[in-house]
Amino acid sequence: MIPITEYAGRDVAVFGLGRTGLSAAKALKAGGARVHAWDDDEDTRRQAEAAGMTLSDINKRDWQTFAALVLSPGIPYKFPQPHRIVRMAEMTGVPIVGDMELFARAVQALPERGRPKIVGITGTNGKSTTTSLVGHILKQAGRDARIGGNIGTGVLDLAALHANATYVLELSSYQLDLVKSLHCDIAVLLNISPDHLDRHGGMEGYQAAKMRIFQNQTERDTAVVGFDDVITQSIAIGLAARGPARVVQASSSYALGRGVSAVDGRLYDSTSGNAVFVGNLADCAALPGKHNHQNAVAAYATCRALGLDPQTIMEGLKSFTGLAHRMERVGEIEGVRFINDSKATNAQAAEQALKSYDNIYWIAGGVPKSDGIGPLTPYFPRISKAYLYGEAEEPFANALKGRVATQGCGTLENAVQAAFRDAKNSGIDNPVILLSPACASFDQFRDFEHRGDTFRSIVEAMMPTELRELA
């Protein structure tokens, strides 16, 4: 844990007690603050109490006593409209911060020589894989790498700050909306496509949130920017022109004159102006496809900026075993494969899975994004049938009408059982049941991890005992 001492002896409100909220509350308490933790959801409050957190209904407190409101990233901050707790803080002049801002201030409070390295990674898609990949490469090279943020472990639950450590942090747009002090020695922006637009007031606000990852960089820092979409191409060129950080372009589509490229799966480093062949990404079993090649080139550029040599990085790329909830094979029953791609929370992410398989029995649903599944139209011929659940059931059925057979299932469990029944009776060779929801999870699950874990549990419960023991 990273104790937060900034508010020692003062009252602090914490609203939203999911993973990051609980992490922040515990860190503040460890640092001597009087913590008033609350969540609107009764089940979440019950889980927080079970985890040892003392609750305090901040709706009934005197807000003039609060030194700050720590807001969980899942709570609407500005759009589509501020949550009532946000409005209450604004009306009483209580500063609003997030867990990442608390972390950033704790780092900045250290003497400069005592600060760890900070790697921040964001983008619409691929940030979890890239964060895990960078952390893996650093650990394989013997570095003290601590991986968290929007992935796995909340940032304040990571091991205490240490000058020789490198914190590799996945940063969501929600988290970036709440940071002012974060200084990334290496800031990575992979790509930008429409996502979470309702939470940012449109594309301009979403892009502005992502750009905050670069806001405190200096001439000693590095910005790694994907070069595979028009928006990030413009950002890379703009950052290089105005500085102050050194910009490294990373592409899985173009042979760059200066940068890091994957050309037909072959990794080249041309940061010095001369293209040097590093290795073949076909040798990296857990990184198939162009989308993963973009993750690989970004991870390579990041690790080079941290001082690792090319071959050490390449060995790390080869030994990477992949990311849970991202095209994760969870088992096979009677010739039917089950793939957990719960991390696919939008159409662009689901596209990577749909184009990787044939004979797909597709499970999709949850809270739909603004662009729906229109971008997935080219991959509809790969889908044998779609099994829909949650808030997206009706709009997705309408989008697929006349193109793909669908079944409304209501819940994920019903969808898995229906898909398995149809797949095993289809007579098709190598059918795949693919959970790739193209939706946020919040209608029925805490987060995408909870959704993916539930899928895995459903599949394991369907397995014969001998297969379950091997899974």
Q: Is 9 annotated as a binding residue?
A: no
Q: Are 451 and 441 in contact (CB under 8 A)?
A: yes
Handedness of CA 15, 19, 415, 373 (dihedral sign): positive
Q: Is 321 annotated as a binding residue?
A: no
Catalytic residue among 29, 36, 196, 293: 196
Residue 317 to residue 299: CA distance in whole angstroms: 9
Catalytic residue among 36, 127, 210, 293: 127
Q: Is 152 annotated as a binding residue?
A: no
Catalytic residue among 26, 117, 150, 325: 150
Residue 61 to residue 224: CA distance in whole angstroms: 45
Q: Is 238 annotated as a binding residue?
A: no
Q: Is 271 annotated as a binding residue?
A: no
Q: Is 126 annotated as a binding residue?
A: yes
SS3 category, 367? strand
- Paired sense of beta strands 336-340 and 328-333, if any: antiparallel
The answer to whether residue 36 is catalytic is: no
10 Å CB burial of residue 291 (0-12, 13-18, 19+) is: buried
- CB contact set of 352 (below 8 Å; sequence gap of 6+): 125, 289, 291, 327, 344
DSSP H or E run through 101 = helix 99-108
SS3 category, 36? strand
The answer to whether residue 295 is catalytic is: no
Query: In the chain, how long is the greatest CA-to-CA distance?
Result: 68
The answer to whether residue 164 is catalytic is: no
Q: Is 127 annotated as a binding residue?
A: yes
For Cα atoms 8, 13, 17, give the angle at the middle one, nearest 5 degrees. Answer: 115
Q: Are 89 and 178 in contact (CB under 8 A)?
A: no
Give catalytic residues, as residue numbers: 127, 150, 196
* Known binding positions: 123-129
Binding-site residue set for ATP: 123-129
